[in-house]
Copies of this chain bind each other. A is one copy, B any other.
Amino acid sequence: MTQYVYTFGGDAVSDDPRAKDKTITGGKGANLAEMASIGLPVPPGFTITTEMCVKYLAEGANFDDALRAEVASALGHIEQTVGKKFGDPADPLLVSVRSGARVSMPGMMDTVLNLGLNDDTVQGLSTVSGDERFAWDSYRRFIQMYSDVVLGLDHGLFEEALEIAKEDKGYYNDVELTAEDWKALVAEFKAIAARELGHPFPQDPSEQLWGAIEAVFASWDSDRAKVYRRLNDIPGGWGTAVNVQAMVFGNMGDTSATGVAFTRDPATGERAYYGEYLINAQGEDVVAGIRTPQYLTKAARDAAGAQAPSMEEAMPDAYGQLARVFDLLENHYRDMQDIEFTVQQGTLWMLQTRSGKRTAKAALKMAVDMVGEGLIDEATAISRIDPMALDQLLHPTLDPEADRKVLTVGLPASPGAASGKVVFDADTAETWAERGEAVILVRVETSPEDIHGMHAAKGILTARGGMTSHAAVVARGMGRPCVSGASALSIDRKSKVGRIGGTEIKEGDVLTLDGSTGEVMLGAVPTIEPELVGDFATLMEWADAKRRMKVRTNAETPADCKMARQFGAEGIGLCRTEHMFFDAGRISSVRQMILAEDKKGRETALAKLLPEQRSDFKAIFTEMAGLPVTIRLLDPPLHEFLPQGDAEFEELAEITGYGIDHLRRRADELHEFNPMLGHRGCRLGITFPEIYEMQAQAIFEAAIEVAVESGEAPVPEIMIPLVATKRELEILKALVDKIAGEVFDAKGKTLEYLVGTMIELPRAALMAGEIAEEGAFFSFGTNDLTQTTLGVSRDDAARFLNPYVEQGIYPRDPFVSLDIEGVGQLVELGAERGRATRPDIKLGICGEHGGDPASIAFCEKVGLDYVSASPYRVPIARLAAAQAALKA
C-alpha cells in the first residue's frame, strides 16, 4: 500500500527515499526531512504527499480510513516529540499548515499558523506560556488567517473590525492592544465568521486540521495557480504536498526571535553570513516591515553603521548554533542557502532552507569560490549560472547610486546603458559622431537605411516596434543599448522635436537609456564598466572545456568581428551582406542597380559596387583569420533600398539622370504587399543572377588576397538565403562554382569554400533531404522560420503577441525563445533529413535564438554543430552550450 504520510523531526527516521524526494513530499517537505535527517533542529511534523493531492483532485474529499490513520499516527509522533496533545485544553499542541509543491509556486495556499487553538485551548496556552496577551493575540491571528485562506472569507472584514477597535480605544499601533482587547476582538471575529459562514467558526482542532489540508489540496487548482503553471510550463498533474509542523514561537519574549538569512552575501557572493532578525517576533513580522530588522553579524552592523545590536551580540548562544547550521547546510547542499529560523526561548529551530537567489556577479563568485573550496566540481559550477544573467555583466550598467529622472519606460530591447545627445535622423547621428559627440538616435522606428546612424550612435530609442523589431535586432547585433516601443514618445521630424509626456526633447538634449530595464532618463546618468576577467574568465574557460557545440557570431563589420572574438566567438555564423549596401557612399550605386531597366544597366552599377564589397570581405576575413566565415548573399526585398522622401528622390534623379516621375513609378512597381514573403532571398539570385555573381566574385577575390597576404586562407561558407527547393540551390550553387572557377583561373590560385543554405522556410525543412544533395551546410534561420511556421510577422506582432503570451497561447515570445514544440519539429526534421542524405553536413543556427539558452539546449539535443549569436550574446551562448552538453 502506498504510504501517503511521512514524518520528520524528533526521533523520526526513515530510510524511504520517497521522504526526501521533492516529487513526493514537495520542495519544502523534502528539505525539512533532509535537515532533520542531518541532525538540524527542525520542529517535528509530517508531510502528506503530492500523490494524495492528485488523488484528492481526481476523487474529491473522501479521505479514507487508511489516510486518517496515517495522519493520526503522524500527529501522535509530533505530540510525543514535543510532549503536548493536539486539542489538550491544559497544554495544547499547535501546528502550522503549509502547502509545498515540487517547485516554489505562488498562487497556492499560504501558511496557517497556530492551528489547534479554540475557546478552550487558548486558556491552556495562556497558562503554559504565562502570557495571556500572547495567547489571545495568537488565537485572533489564527481565526483571521484560517478564515481567509481556508474558509475563503474576505480578510477585509477582520481588518476593518481591528481598525474600528483601535479607533475606539484611540490606539495607533497593534502593540498597544491588551489581552482584554484581543479577547473582545476574538469574540467579534468569531461573530463575523459565523455570520459569513452561516455556522460557527470551527472549534474542533481535528476539523480545523482537515479543513486546512483540504484547502491546500484545492488551492492547487486555483485560478492563480493555474495561470502561474501555464506561464511556467508546470504540469497540472504534479499536485502539492501538505506540511503540518509543530509551532515554535519567536514571540515568547526577549530570548525568542525570528529571522531570515543567506549563507553567503547574495549581492556580492562574499563568503559572509548575511541576514536579518527580530527579537520577540513572528516570521511574518520580519517581512511585513513594521519593525526594522536588525543585522545578523557584528561586521554587517558595523559596516552599515547601525545601532540595534546584531544577533551575534544580542544572542551569542543562538547565533553560535545558527553559524554551525550555516556551515552544515552549505556542506550538505553544496550551495548557498536561503534560510528561515526561529529562536524560541533560547533554542534555535529551522523552519526552511532552500537554494538562495543571487545576482549574476554573486552567482559567478560563489560558483568559482566553491570549486576552490572543494565544495563543488566545475560542471556543477557551470550549471549554477543562469546564462542570461551574464548579460548584466557584459554591458556598461547605470550606477545604481546615481540619481535618475525617468521619463518613460519602453521595452528593454538591447541591454546596456548609454547617454548622449538626441538626434532624430541617421545622417545627423553620423555627422555628430564623427566630430566626437556621443549621440542617441531617436526614431519612430528604424529601417535598414538607418544602419549607419545606429552604428554611429551610443544608443537607440524608438517609439514603435517590439523586442524583435528592426531596431532591437540590429542594436543587439551591434551591442548598442536600445529601448524600443516607447509608446509615450512622439516625434515631429520636421521641427526636430520629440515629446515624452509633458517633456519636450530637442535635438542636442541629453538622454540616458537603460536597455536592460527599458528606462528612458533625462540628462546623463553615470555608468559602470563591465569586467570580463577574474571569476568570469575562469568560469567561461571551464564552460568551453565542457561544450560540444561551437559558438559563432552574427557580425558584418570588422568592429563587430573584433568584439565577438574578444567574447570568444569561433567564427561567423551569419554575415549579412545587405547592411554593406546601405553605406552612404554606396547606396546610390545600389539604387542605380535596382532602378536599371535591364541587365546591362544593373551590371554597370554592380561593377561600381564590386571593389567596395571586396574590401568589406577583406576586412572581415582579416579580422576572422583562421576561422570559418558564413556569408549570406543578398537577402532583403529590393524595395527596401529605394529612396524614401522627396529629397532622396531628387538626389537620385540627379545622379542617375532619370526623371523623378520615372523613379517614383519604378519604386511603386517594386512595392510589395508582404515583402517578407516577396521578391527577396535567392529569388533575387534567380531573377537577377548578376547580383550574386558580383557578390561571389568579391568574396573569392577578397579571400585569395587575404590568403596571399596573411598566409592563412579563410574558408568562406557561402550561404544562399530563402531556399525552398533543391533546384534553387542547384542553380545558384552552379553560379557560385562558376564564378569561383573564373576567379581561381584569373588569380592562379584556388581556395577551399563551401556552398550551403539557410533553412528558414517550412518547405526547406520538409525537403531538407533533397536540398542536402546540393548544400554542404544548413544554417537554421529560425527568425524567418518562426515567422512562416507560425504565420506571424515579427514587425507586426506587437499588437497581439503580448495578449498571446499573457493568455498562455505561447509560453514565451517565440521570437525570443524558440517555439520548440512547433518550429522545433521542423528544425529537428530538417537536421535529420539533411544528415540522412549527407552524414557530414554542417548544421548551425543563426536566428536570434542562437543566443537564447533554452533554444541552445534544444540545438544540443538535435545535435547541431554550432550556434551563432550576436556578439554580446556569445558568452551567454558559450555557457548555455556547456550546460546543454553537461545535461546531455
- Contact between chains at B687 and A800 (CB < 8 Å): yes
State which size class the interface on A falls in: 35 or more
Q: Which one of A70-78, A355-363, A790-798, A859-867 is at the interface?
A: A790-798
- Contact between chains at B686 and A766 (CB < 8 Å): no
Bound form: Cα–Cα A687–B803 in Å: 7
Pairs A–B under 8 Å by Cβ, sample size 25: A672-B795, A674-B676, A674-B677, A674-B795, A675-B796, A676-B677, A676-B791, A677-B677, A677-B793, A681-B791, A683-B800, A686-B803, A724-B792, A725-B810, A727-B808, A727-B809, A760-B791, A761-B789, A761-B790, A762-B788, A762-B791, A763-B822, A766-B825, A766-B826, A767-B822
Bound form: Cα–Cα A504–B592 in Å: 33
Instruction: Tell me which residues across on chain B come within 8 A of A677, comparing CB atoms.
Output: 674, 676-677, 787-788, 791-793, 796
Residues of A521-555 whose CB lies within 8 A of B = none
- Contact between chains at B793 and A673 (CB < 8 Å): yes
Residue picked from A762, A796, A809, most chain B C-beta under 10 Å: A762
Within 8 Å by CB of A673, from B795, B804, B823, lies B795
Chain B's closest residue to A798 (CB) is: B679
A106 at the interface (CB under 8 A from B): no
Instruction: Tell me which residues across on chain B come within 8 A of A791, comparing CB atoms.
Output: 676-677, 681, 722, 724, 760-763, 784, 788
A821 at the interface (CB under 8 A from B): yes
- Contact between chains at A674 and B793 (CB < 8 Å): yes
Residues of A668-724 whose CB lies within 8 A of B = 672-679, 681, 683, 686-687, 722, 724
Chain B's closest residue to A795 (CB) is: B673
Instruction: Tell me which residues across on chain B come within 8 A of A724, comparing CB atoms.
Output: 790-792, 822
A819 at the interface (CB under 8 A from B): yes
Instruction: Tell me which residues across on chain B come within 8 A of A766, comparing CB atoms.
Output: 789, 822, 825-826
Chain B's closest residue to A804 (CB) is: B686
Bound form: Cα–Cα A788–B761 in Å: 8
Residues of A640-678 whose CB lies within 8 A of B = 672-678
| With known contacts A788-B762, A790-B724, A679–B796 Cβ distance under 8 A | yes
A431 at the interface (CB under 8 A from B): no
A386 at the interface (CB under 8 A from B): no
Bound form: Cα–Cα A767–B823 in Å: 10
Give the Cβ gap from A884 to chain B, nearest Cβ, in Å. 23
Taking beta carbons and an 8 Å cutoff, which residues of A are in contact with B? Answer: 672-679, 681, 683, 686-687, 722, 724-725, 727-728, 731, 760-763, 766-767, 784, 787-793, 795-797, 799-800, 803-804, 807-810, 819, 821-823, 825-826
- Contact between chains at B678 and A793 (CB < 8 Å): yes
Q: Besides the contacts A673-B793, A674-B796, A683-B800, what 8 more A-B pairs have beta carbons closer than 8 Å? A: A722-B791, A731-B807, A760-B791, A762-B789, A762-B791, A763-B791, A763-B823, A788-B788
Bound form: Cα–Cα A681–B767 in Å: 28
Instruction: Tell me which residues across on chain B come within 8 A of A725, comparing CB atoms.
Output: 809-810, 822
Instruction: Tell me which residues across on chain B come within 8 A of A679, comparing CB atoms.
Output: 796, 799-800
Give the Cβ gap from A232 to chain B, nearest Cβ, in Å. 15
Instruction: Tell me which residues across on chain B come within 8 A of A788, comparing CB atoms.
Output: 677, 762, 788-789, 791
Instruction: Tell me which residues across on chain B come within 8 A of A674, comparing CB atoms.
Output: 674-677, 793, 795-796
Top 6 A-B pairs ranked by shortest CB distance? A677-B793, A674-B793, A762-B762, A678-B796, A763-B822, A761-B791
Give the Cβ gap from A821 to chain B, nearest Cβ, in Å. 7
Bound form: Cα–Cα A678–B677 in Å: 12
Give the Cβ gap from A779 to chain B, nearest Cβ, in Å. 16
Give the Cβ gap from A857 to chain B, nearest Cβ, in Å. 20
Bound form: Cα–Cα A822–B769 in Å: 12
| With known contacts A677-B674, A793-B677, A807–B761 Cβ distance under 8 A | no
Bound form: Cα–Cα A677–B676 in Å: 9
Chain B's closest residue to A730 (CB) is: B809
Instruction: Tell me which residues across on chain B come within 8 A of A799, comparing CB atoms.
Output: 678-679, 687
Chain B's closest residue to A677 (CB) is: B793
Instruction: Tell me which residues across on chain B come within 8 A of A672, comparing CB atoms.
Output: 793, 795-796
Instruction: Tell me which residues across on chain B come within 8 A of A810, comparing CB atoms.
Output: 725
Give the Cβ gap from A423 to chain B, nearest Cβ, in Å. 23
Instruction: Tell me which residues across on chain B come within 8 A of A675, comparing CB atoms.
Output: 673-674, 793, 796
Chain B's closest residue to A825 (CB) is: B766
Give the Cβ gap from A757 to chain B, nearest Cβ, in Å. 13
Instruction: Tell me which residues across on chain B come within 8 A of A792, comparing CB atoms.
Output: 677, 724
Residue picked from A674, A724, A821, most chain B C-beta under 10 Å: A674
Bound form: Cα–Cα A563–B826 in Å: 42
Bound form: Cα–Cα A799–B680 in Å: 11
Chain B's closest residue to A767 (CB) is: B822
Give the Cβ gap from A462 to chain B, nearest Cβ, in Å. 14
Bound form: Cα–Cα A673–B676 in Å: 8
Chain B's closest residue to A673 (CB) is: B795
Instruction: Tell me which residues across on chain B come within 8 A of A825, comparing CB atoms.
Output: 766
Residue picked from A672, A763, A810, A823, most chain B C-beta under 10 Å: A763
- Contact between chains at B763 and A819 (CB < 8 Å): yes
Chain B's closest residue to A803 (CB) is: B687
Give the Cβ gap from A241 to chain B, nearest Cβ, in Å. 29
Bound form: Cα–Cα A172–B815 in Å: 77
Chain B's closest residue to A819 (CB) is: B763
Bound form: Cα–Cα A728–B790 in Å: 13
Instruction: Tell me which residues across on chain B come within 8 A of A821, comparing CB atoms.
Output: 767
Within 8 Å by CB of A807, from B686, B763, B789, B819, lies B686
Instruction: Tell me which residues across on chain B come within 8 A of A676, comparing CB atoms.
Output: 673-674, 677, 791, 793
Chain B's closest residue to A801 (CB) is: B683
Chain B's closest residue to A809 (CB) is: B727
Bound form: Cα–Cα A727–B673 in Å: 29
Bound form: Cα–Cα A787–B683 in Å: 15
Bound form: Cα–Cα A796–B676 in Å: 10
Instruction: Tell me which residues across on chain B come within 8 A of A762, comparing CB atoms.
Output: 762, 788-789, 791, 822, 826
Instruction: Tell me which residues across on chain B come within 8 A of A804, comparing CB atoms.
Output: 683, 686
Bound form: Cα–Cα A762–B673 in Å: 21
Bound form: Cα–Cα A796–B727 in Å: 21
Instruction: Tell me which residues across on chain B come within 8 A of A681, comparing CB atoms.
Output: 791
Bound form: Cα–Cα A194–B790 in Å: 67
- Contact between chains at B789 and A763 (CB < 8 Å): yes
Instruction: Tell me which residues across on chain B come within 8 A of A795, comparing CB atoms.
Output: 672-674
